Chains A and B, each alone.
Chain A
């Protein structure tokens, strides 16, 4: 029985204004004109020297503290030496023996229950430039754009605690959520602002020695992440069961064919000959500063989700959906506060059902949309008080979304207010029954489906504006009465 042993390395670009070791602006490297945010330092020009960006350190500390890590109050920057065209200095300034933080944890929920994933370390480093390979028409070559070189990166490494692709995905989603909550990273996997690299190996169950590790790159979505890991587990398992050996290598994920392919074979450990960077003194962190940052941490997704379950009576699923993004959670809480007579569950449903649907269709974000929490709250209030029915409400929301008008004004101008008044409805039901004796007789003759037709008649007479629940109840009551 082979057991998958999986560890995860995540690289997150930090959303600072300037780069890690120089004052060049941090730009969207998928958009900016190439080589327009580059200086002697990040270009690795002769004589240039690095100076650490304080905010990058602050963001790194935020993440480390949010993950429950121990902060190293005197961490050290080290040179990781290797040659590559996207590495201007011929070394990357990173951290090695003395990283920023160690020994954290992240609890994830899986279909098998909760699991604790141990975080081995968190450290700061700089990003490399971007390579573009050109080779379709004519002789092949590679282009180098240094806009990305030097952007601050936070590397988060776990212990090999994962066993399935599902767990990996769960962790990645939780971590992404936390990074967004902390305002340090947008979580965009497609743009490579957040990069997730699992390393996968297999070993016979019960054995302690680790098998040969394969690192997977180019996983640009959570789906790819889960599938890539699952594929690699299977591929290695097949190899081993055929008596072959797994090669230690880096593989890429081919999204189209859904397979992994060899990118770079590693013969033993790469010799990066790390040594402390003599251009940078030890990164000394005042304990008071770290404490300040810890105290200022926002309520994180896991804690918020738990609180939502307890405070608003939501189930796991809904709480999870609402707390995945901080702005959604905030929106929800503001809407609930503004609609005190509506059940929070109802508010939740309106957000995760209808509102999300509209946002997806229009491709806008919650922050940009024209329905602020108070407006949604008033709509939900109308529904909960029975003043409009569900279908009407959906239509009203659609119009609110497009026009930015209030629920009240749309309901008024379209005359959508529904009648819930029992007496008025009783009268309509009575009239319908009186006007359709044959159908009533048919109903009592055993054709129960006729009740639906009678219901339809009442709704028609009310021009759709009768509260359906009240109509149904009244119809049932009057029919029952007539039976006797």
Chain B
């Protein structure tokens, strides 16, 4: 189960992780080894099961529609790296390369 370098680059892009060339190589090797070990998973016969939706048992826990004040704005913005006009400032949103 070997991943190619370009697959690793694509995954890193999807996950917005900047990787150096060395890192890409290294992770490629490690992830391939890990996935190789995991291929046994595909051989397990699960035909007797219905699909498992999530880890928690069914039973909706719904909330009643009562508003409550949120965080004080200065606490919300407390550890923000860049704030202007009480908003989070980020570099301009341009089209992705």
A and B touch in the complex (CB under 8 A): yes
Q: Which residues of A contact B (CB under 8 A)?
A: 16-18, 22-26, 33-40, 42-43, 51-57, 74, 76, 83-85, 131-133, 135, 140-146, 264-265, 271, 273, 276-278, 280-284
* Most chain B CB neighbours (cut-off 10 Å) among A40, A141, A280: A141
Q: When the two chains form the complex, which single residue of B60, B69, B87 contacts A143, counting CB atoms closer than 8 Å?
A: B87
Q: A135-B92, A278-B56 are in contact. Are A143 and B67 (CB under 8 A)?
A: no
B55 touching A35, Cβ below 8 Å: no
Given contacts A38-B71, A42-B70, 15 further A-B contacts (CB under 8 A): A18-B67, A22-B70, A23-B63, A23-B67, A26-B67, A33-B73, A35-B77, A51-B61, A56-B65, A132-B87, A141-B90, A143-B89, A264-B95, A265-B95, A277-B54
- A282: nearest residue on chain B (CB-CB)? B58
Closest chain-B Cβ to A319's Cβ sits at a distance in Å of: 35
A53 touching B65, Cβ below 8 Å: yes
Residues of B within 8 A of A144 (CB): 87-90
A35 touching B87, Cβ below 8 Å: yes
What are 8 A-B pairs at a CB distance below 8 A?
A33-B86, A38-B70, A38-B76, A52-B62, A84-B93, A143-B85, A264-B95, A284-B60
The CA-CA distance from A56 to B66 in the complex, in Å, is 12
* Most chain A CB neighbours (cut-off 10 Å) among B54, B86, B90: B54
A85 touching B68, Cβ below 8 Å: no
Encode contact with A along B32-64: 1 for CB under 8 Å, 0 otherwise.
000000000000000000000111111111111
The CA-CA distance from A33 to B92 in the complex, in Å, is 22
Residues of A within 8 A of B68 (CB): 18, 23-25
A283 touching B60, Cβ below 8 Å: yes
Residues of A within 8 A of B70 (CB): 22, 24-25, 36-39, 42
Closest chain-B Cβ to A140's Cβ sits at a distance in Å of: 4
The CA-CA distance from A402 to B97 in the complex, in Å, is 60
B89 touching A141, Cβ below 8 Å: yes
Q: A17-B65, A34-B86, A38-B76 are in contact. Are A281 and B59 (CB under 8 A)?
A: yes
Residues of B within 8 A of A277 (CB): 54
The CA-CA distance from A16 to B63 in the complex, in Å, is 12
> Quick check: is B18 within 8 A (CB to CB) of the other chain?
no
6 cross-chain pairs, A with B, having the tightest CB-CB distances, nearest first: A55-B65, A25-B67, A39-B70, A143-B87, A54-B62, A140-B92
The CA-CA distance from A18 to B54 in the complex, in Å, is 26
Q: When the two chains form the complex, which single residue of A33, A132, A273, A276 contacts B54, counting CB atoms closer than 8 Å?
A: A276
Q: A37-B70, A271-B14, A281-B58 are in contact. Are A52 and B63 (CB under 8 A)?
A: yes
Closest chain-A Cβ to B42's Cβ sits at a distance in Å of: 18
The CA-CA distance from A193 to B61 in the complex, in Å, is 27
Closest chain-B Cβ to A62's Cβ sits at a distance in Å of: 14
Q: A18-B68, A54-B63, A144-B88 are in contact. Are A85 and B93 (CB under 8 A)?
A: yes
B66 touching A18, Cβ below 8 Å: yes
Closest chain-A Cβ to B84's Cβ sits at a distance in Å of: 6
The CA-CA distance from A33 to B86 in the complex, in Å, is 9
B90 touching A52, Cβ below 8 Å: no
Q: A74-B58, A284-B59 are in contact. Are A17 and B66 (CB under 8 A)?
A: yes
Residues of B within 8 A of A39 (CB): 70-71
The CA-CA distance from A51 to B66 in the complex, in Å, is 13
A142 touching B95, Cβ below 8 Å: no
A133 touching B93, Cβ below 8 Å: yes
Residues of A within 8 A of B16 (CB): 83
* Most chain A CB neighbours (cut-off 10 Å) among B16, B59, B65: B65
Residues of B within 8 A of A37 (CB): 70
The CA-CA distance from A283 to B68 in the complex, in Å, is 23
A35 touching B92, Cβ below 8 Å: no
Closest chain-A Cβ to B40's Cβ sits at a distance in Å of: 22
Residues of A within 8 A of B65 (CB): 16-18, 53-56
